[in-house]
């Protein structure tokens, strides 16, 4: 009844180019694995325009400033940048975060320093919050417009901050716990980009796997050369589907803060409906879903399609591949009250009059008053087309 698919987390990242500490996994990239999906968030976010898709995956030209913005917008963890580790949520009332160009004597007390504030993911910002009302403050020194990483009118972290604030507020929480704080300093006090050519990487297996599910790997200075590969190389076959790491981490953070039973923001989710009158149960939707949000169900109630809302990225692959155009995909318009899988269709099994195999009865299950599976139905139609009145 179609190819059996399974989810597999990223297990290996390859360094894209020798001149930058940026790693990628082609197997975890939506666009590289599924050409119909036009996700190019990483490329569009690169302020230098040096990242692109090549014949063999991600390619990086000279000029990368290691700002991490490409990795920050990747929904599946297919990209990883060095230096963006943040501590786990703690009891500190305020967690200040500064960019690496702030000198130690100007640094906010107890601040965490990273290469670029724009390289933080929404999930990382949410992960810093605890249940005691602490806050995260990203310190804006007023240098971003003149930064070599690529300046703009908007602060590079403003999009992720705004997204995190909206999610918190729609979950009944205080969005002001994550904020951008303006504390300008003269441009003359800015340090140049702090690249660390002698900083070597050692990533533990456990730390690496934490990174692959949305947290930063542990990086320390050792005497080994910079690795070209992180993790264990794994062969990817056509059955493997991609884990939407970022959305799962966001959902987990919101549930931790608001409670497991709290309604989740509608903006995170999609509604999928199947018209059973049109559905012929080819199940191509489940077989081609990049993240296994749609899955085949077979139980005492019959055969159908199940939907896991926490996994759906709204890519539209199910609509694209449905031969009967029986699927509709729309943004959810009200908060989600349950992450339990939903049953979208249900068909009883019937025995094909021609081949004798059981199949789920759909709209075309009956031909000439006989239960006929879609394959045999097509054979009958072909026979009629070829031999006309002889049949």
Helix (H, G, I), strand (E, B) or coil at 4: coil
Mean pLDDT of the region 16-36: 92
357 vs 267: CA distance, rounded Å: 43
Tell me, what's the pLDDT at 3? 60
Tell me, what's the pLDDT at 322? 93
Tell me, what's the pLDDT at 362? 57
The residues spanned by each domain of the chain are 6-82+205-231, 94-189, 269-343, 349-390
| Tokens (6 digits) for 156 | 């590079």
CA dist list (Å): 208 to 6, 7, 50, 223: 21, 18, 26, 19
Mean pLDDT of the region 274-281: 87
Q: At 249, is the pLDDT very low, low, confident or very high (cuts 50, 70, 90)?
A: very high
Question: Tell me: the pLDDT tens digits for 187-235?
Answer: 999 987 555 433 333 334 444 444 444 433 333 333 344 557 776 666 6
Q: Which of 92-96, 161-165, 221-225, 311-315 has the lowest mean pLDDT?
A: 221-225
The CATH code for residues 269-343 is 3.30.70.20
Tell me, what's the pLDDT at 354? 80
Mean pLDDT of the region 258-285: 92
Tell me, what's the pLDDT at 275? 93
Same fold, 6-82+205-231 and 269-343: yes
CA dist list (Å): 159 to 32, 65, 117, 256, 373: 25, 20, 11, 23, 51
Question: Tell me: the pLDDT tens digits for 45-78?
Answer: 999 999 999 988 999 999 999 999 999 999 999 9
Mean pLDDT of the region 24-47: 92
Question: Tell me: the pLDDT tens digits for 347-374?
Answer: 777 778 888 777 776 554 444 467 777 7
| Total Cβ atoms within 10 A of residue 43 | 16
Fold assignment, 6-82+205-231: Alpha-Beta Plaits (3.30.70)
Mean pLDDT of the region 366-391: 71
By C-alpha distance, which of 329, 325, 331, 318 is closest to 36? 318
Mean pLDDT of the region 15-29: 92
List alpha helices for 41-103, DSSP H: 41-45, 69-73
| Tokens (6 digits) for 319 | 């609509």
pLDDT at 101 over 70: yes
Tell me, what's the pLDDT at 389? 58
């Amino acid at each position: 009844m179609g190819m059996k698919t399974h989810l597999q987390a990223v297990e290996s990242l390859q360094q894209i180019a020798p001149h930058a500490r940026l790693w990628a996994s082609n197997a975890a990239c939506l666009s590289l694995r599924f050409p119909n999906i036009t996700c190019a968030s990483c490329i569009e976010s690169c302020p230098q325009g040096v990242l692109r898709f090549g014949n063999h995956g991600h390619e990086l030209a000279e000029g990368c400033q290691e700002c991490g913005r490409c990795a920050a917008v990747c929904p599946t963890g297919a990209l990883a940048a060095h230096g963006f580790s943040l501590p786990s949520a703690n009891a500190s009332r305020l967690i200040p975060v500064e960019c690496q160009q702030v000198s130690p004597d100007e640094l906010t007390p107890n601040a965490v320093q990273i290469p670029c504030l724009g390289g933080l993911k929404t999930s990382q910002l949410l992960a810093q919050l605890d249940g005691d009302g602490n806050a995260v403050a990203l310190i804006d020194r007023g240098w971003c417009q003149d930064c070599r990483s690529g300046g703009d009118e908007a602060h590079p972290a403003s999009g992720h901050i705004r997204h995190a604030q909206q999610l918190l507020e729609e979950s009944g929480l205080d969005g002001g716990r994550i904020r951008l704080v303006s504390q300008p300093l003269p441009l003359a006090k800015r340090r140049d980009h702090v690249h660390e050519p002698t900083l070597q990487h050692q990533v533990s297996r456990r730390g690496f796997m934490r990174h692959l599910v949305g947290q930063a790997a542990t990086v320390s200075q050792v005497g080994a050369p910079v690795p070209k590969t992180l993790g264990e190389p794994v062969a990817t076959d056509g059955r493997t589907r991609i884990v939407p790491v970022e959305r799962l981490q966001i959902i987990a953070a919101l549930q931790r803060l608001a409670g497991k039973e709290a309604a989740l923001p509608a903006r995170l989710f999609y509604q999928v409906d199947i018209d059973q009158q049109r559905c012929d149960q080819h199940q191509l939707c489940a077989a081609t879903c990049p993240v296994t949000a749609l899955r085949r169900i077979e139980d005492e109630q019959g055969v159908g399609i199940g939907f896991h809302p926490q996994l759906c990225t709204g890519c539209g692959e199910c609509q694209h591949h449905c031969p009967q155009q029986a699927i509709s995909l729309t943004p959810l318009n009200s908060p989600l009250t349950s992450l339990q899988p939903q049953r979208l269709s249900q068909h009883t099994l019937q025995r094909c009059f021609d081949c004798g195999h059981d199949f789920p009865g759909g709209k075309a299950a009956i031909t000439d008053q006989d239960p006929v599976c879609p394959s045999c139905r097509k054979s009958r139609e072909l026979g009629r087309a070829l031999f006309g009145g002889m049949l």
